[in-house]
């Protein structure tokens, strides 16, 4: 009976369904690596992976609903850069040649990564993983338990896919570990067992596999820089630079040159609490190469930089870039480092008044653009700022409090 209605009326119903406020949290809308393990792009599978299951009545309705979603609504992706690029690539290559047409419909996207791992511990150390001989006795941990967090891009069941996450321990992905470079692990006639890559004198990690060494809290126990975890010297700047070159940059290259014709992109950017900003300033004094913002916020700084570069391309690969400037956690809501009303009044570039701990995330975006040879000036882009008061209804990634919408 529904398909007997005129197409115009069906499109209105699709628009109404997609405009219904979604009360699910961003964690419920995330896309993880197991979700794309066997993902084959069809209108039904695309709507399913985007968590629009309520519209999956049959294939014909799914095809019409997908067209309405991509053409008229903002498509929300909560995943890491690799998963996002892989998902879009599979959509482009799927559908018996229709994938590129589907992507050409997509006009507005919103990108988030609610399961972003701690940058200094990416990938997780081996001691946090349960060995195979103890899996049968592993206690059942509730979904909301803070101790058992997703390991890489939110995958909680990576042990069901080869007993390890491919981006954590696969030798071909050794670039994630500091000091290692990717190398070809394919077998050759001279080395069929790969013994040339085996180093028998490497430190054994099994001794501290079950180590209970706590994570150093920078607020209560600020360590010296660089941070030291599990006998590894983690350099946040190098780790993020490696992540940017291997995942973020390829993603935005695909968004700029692929079959997509985006007009608007929405990205999050966070400001810390005043106390956290002070600690980060102290870290930067110890090591000038350290960023003025924490590694997790610095990740979104780098993503925002690439979004601005898309906007400034000739011809532009984007018409509008919307940055949601939000508190990083509850402490940032209670004691923010930035005066949002003052930023709205003075604009993106602001004034020279105030302490050096204010506007650090926004300054980091402008500084990162300058390091890439782009001096962003007020005459280059049209910027409008709007203070968004928190009403208690929306929680972007579980974060609450007033925010600022920066539209370029």
Does any domain span residue 75? Answer: yes
What angle, 0 to 180 degrees and rounded to 10, lies between the N-to-C axes of helices 295-312 and 236-243? 40
Residue range 217-270, pLDDT digits in tens: 443 444 443 344 333 334 667 778 888 898 999 999 999 987 888 999 999 999
Rounded distance between C-alpha atoms, residue 229 and residue 212, angstroms: 12
What mean pLDDT is predicted for residues 133-145?
A: 46
Q: Domains in the chain: how many in total?
A: 1
Flag whether pLDDT at 174 surpasses 90.
no
Selected residue with higher pLDDT from 206 and 367: 367
| pTM for the structure as a whole | 0.71
Of the two residues 243 and 393, the one the predictor is more confident about is 243
pLDDT tens track for 333-363: 888 888 888 888 888 887 655 545 578 888 8
Average pLDDT estimate for 147-172: 41
Residue span of the structural domain in which 26 resides? 1-115
Please report whether residue 151 resides in a domain: no
Does 290 reside within a domain?
no
Structure confidence at residue 241 (pLDDT): 84
Task: Give residue 190's pLDDT band: very low, low, confident or very high (50, 70, 90).
Answer: low
**66 domain-assigned:** yes
Residue 141 domain flag: no
Within-domain flag for 70: yes
| pLDDT above 80 for 149 | no
Structure tokens at 305: 């930089």
Asked whether the beta carbons of 151 and 124 are under 8 A apart, the reply is yes
CB–CB of 31/87 below 8 Å?
yes
On whether residue 347 sits in a domain, the answer given is no
Does residue 403 contact residue 326 with C-beta atoms inside 8 Å?
A: yes
Between the ranges 131-135, 195-199, 238-242, 299-303, where is the mean pLDDT highest? 299-303
DSSP H helical ranges for 94-183: 99-105, 166-169
Of residues 383 and 329, the one with the higher pLDDT is: 383
As a whole number of Å, the CA-based R_g of the chain is 23
Q: How many CB atoms lie within 10 A of CB 313?
A: 11
Long-range contacts of 46-54 (CB under 8 A, 24+ apart): 46/91, 46/102, 49/87, 50/75, 50/76, 50/77, 51/24, 52/18, 54/17
| Sheet with 384-388, edge to edge strand ranges | 74-78, 108-112, 264-271, 320-327, 403-407, 384-388
Asked if residue 102 is part of any domain, the answer here is yes
**Greater confidence, 273 or 6?**
6
């Amino acid at each position: 009976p529904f398909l007997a209605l005129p197409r115009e009326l069906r499109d209105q119903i699709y628009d109404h369904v997609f405009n219904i406020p979604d009360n699910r949290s961003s964690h419920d809308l995330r896309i993880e690596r197991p979700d794309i393990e066997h993902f084959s792009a069809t209108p039904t599978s695309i709507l399913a992976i985007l968590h629009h299951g309520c519209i999956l009545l049959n294939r014909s309705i799914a095809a019409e609903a997908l067209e309405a979603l991509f053409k008229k609504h903002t498509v929300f992706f909560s995943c890491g850069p690799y998963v996002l690029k892989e998902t879009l690539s599979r959509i482009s290559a799927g559908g018996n040649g229709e994938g590129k047409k589907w992507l050409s419909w997509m006009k507005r996207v919103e990108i988030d990564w609610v399961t972003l791992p701690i940058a200094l511990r990416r990938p997780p150390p081996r001691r946090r993983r349960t060995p195979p001989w103890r899996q049968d006795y592993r206690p059942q941990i509730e979904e909301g338990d803070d101790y058992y967090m997703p390991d890489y891009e939110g995958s909680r069941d990576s042990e069901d896919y080869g007993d390890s996450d491919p981006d954590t321990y696969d030798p071909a992905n050794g670039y994630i570990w500091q000091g290692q470079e990717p190398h070809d692990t394919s077998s050759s006639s001279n080395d069929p067992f790969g013994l040339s890559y085996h180093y028998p004198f490497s430190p054994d990690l099994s001794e501290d596999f079950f180590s209970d060494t706590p994570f150093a809290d920078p607020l209560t126990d600020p360590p010296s820089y660089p941070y030291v975890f599990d006998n590894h010297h983690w350099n946040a700047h190098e780790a993020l630079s490696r992540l940017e070159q291997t995942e973020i940059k390829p993603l935005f290259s695909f968004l700029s040159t692929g079959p997509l014709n985006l007009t608007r992109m929405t990205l999050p950017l966070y400001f810390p609490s005043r106390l956290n900003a002070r600690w980060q300033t102290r870290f930067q004094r110890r090591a000038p190469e350290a960023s003025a913002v924490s590694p997790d916020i610095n990740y979104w700084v780098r993503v925002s930089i690439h979004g601005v570069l898309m906007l400034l391309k000739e011809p532009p690969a984007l018409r509008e870039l919307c940055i949601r400037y939000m508190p990083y956690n509850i402490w940032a809501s209670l004691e923010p480092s930035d005066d949002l009303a003052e930023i709205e009044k003075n604009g993106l570039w602001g004034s020279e008044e105030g302490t050096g701990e204010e506007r650090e995330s926004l300054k980091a975006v402008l500084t990162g653009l300058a390091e890439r040879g782009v001096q962003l000036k007020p005459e280059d882009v049209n910027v409008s700022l709007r203070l968004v008061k928190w009403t208690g209804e929306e929680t972007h990634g579980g974060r609450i409090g007033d925010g600022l919408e920066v539209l370029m």
